[in-house]
């Protein structure tokens, strides 16, 4: 059986448009944004959410009962955690360039893009085969990793994929061999 997942990313950032390497609750959906997104969402039998404060706030704003899923945590940014993209670019331009172009690079001492994609693939493959559909509230990097898996795309496409905040994107991730045998 194929599981249909709908991805939903929280609003991120501090309103300045500056990318920050973290998952703190810098801002969140306002009542009108949450109402609009919530009205567009069908009911889901299962709602998973990442452990970030933004994802928890988004689930609350949408009045959704959700299950905390630690495997959906955002990137481990290592030494870059809490710094802005501009700060990292100024301090470590070669490291930032390597991280954005080489899926195996982890110049910050944290997680590589390939490492994140593998973690998310393991989680996807662990979902019960009888699950039909679910909503996943997760950081954009996790949504990208789900898309890489669902599209069977090369990991190097990771940075070219986008899931806009509060915009549901539905995918049917690749069926793993264990599910095929069980069906």
Q: What is the mean pLDDT of the chain?
A: 83
**Cα(143)–Cα(50) distance, integer angstroms:** 11
**Cα(7)–Cα(14) distance, integer angstroms:** 22
**Cα(62)–Cα(59) distance, integer angstroms:** 5
Note the pLDDT of residue 178.
45
- Higher per-residue pLDDT: 172 or 5: 5
What is the band of 183 on the pLDDT scale with cuts at 50, 70, 90? very low
Phi, psi at residue 81, to the nearest 5°?
-55, 130
Cα dihedral 182, 137, 161, 131 in deg (nearest 10): 10
What is the band of 130 on the pLDDT scale with cuts at 50, 70, 90? confident
What is the band of 156 on the pLDDT scale with cuts at 50, 70, 90? very high
**Cα(105)–Cα(159) distance, integer angstroms:** 14
Q: Rounded to 5 degrees, what angle do the CA atoms 174, 11, 117 make? A: 30
**What would the pLDDT profile of 57-82 be if each residue is shown by its tens digit?**
889 888 899 999 999 998 899 999 88
Note the pLDDT of residue 23.
58
- DSSP assignment letter at 92: -
pTM: 0.84
């Amino acid at each position: 059986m194929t599981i249909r997942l709908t991805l939903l990313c929280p609003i991120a950032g501090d309103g300045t448009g500056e990318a920050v390497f973290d998952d703190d609750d810098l801002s969140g959906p306002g009542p009108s944004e949450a109402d609009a997104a919530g009205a567009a969402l069908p009911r889901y039998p299962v709602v998973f959410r990442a452990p970030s404060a933004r994802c928890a706030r988004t689930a609350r704003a949408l009045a959704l009962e959700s299950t905390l899923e630690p495997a959906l945590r955002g990137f481990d940014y290592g030494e870059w955690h809490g710094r802005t993209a501009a700060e990292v670019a100024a301090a470590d331009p070669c490291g930032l360039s390597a991280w954005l172009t080489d899926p195996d690079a982890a110049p910050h001492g944290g997680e590589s893009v390939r490492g994140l994609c593998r973690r998310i693939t393991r989680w996807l493959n662990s979902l019960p085969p009888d699950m039909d559909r679910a909503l996943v509230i997760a950081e954009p990097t996790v949504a990208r990793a789900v898309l890489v898996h669902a599209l069977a795309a090369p990991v190097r496409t990771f940075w070219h994929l986008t899931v806009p905040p509060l915009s549901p994107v539905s995918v049917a991730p690749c069926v793993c061999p264990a599910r095929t045998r069980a069906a």
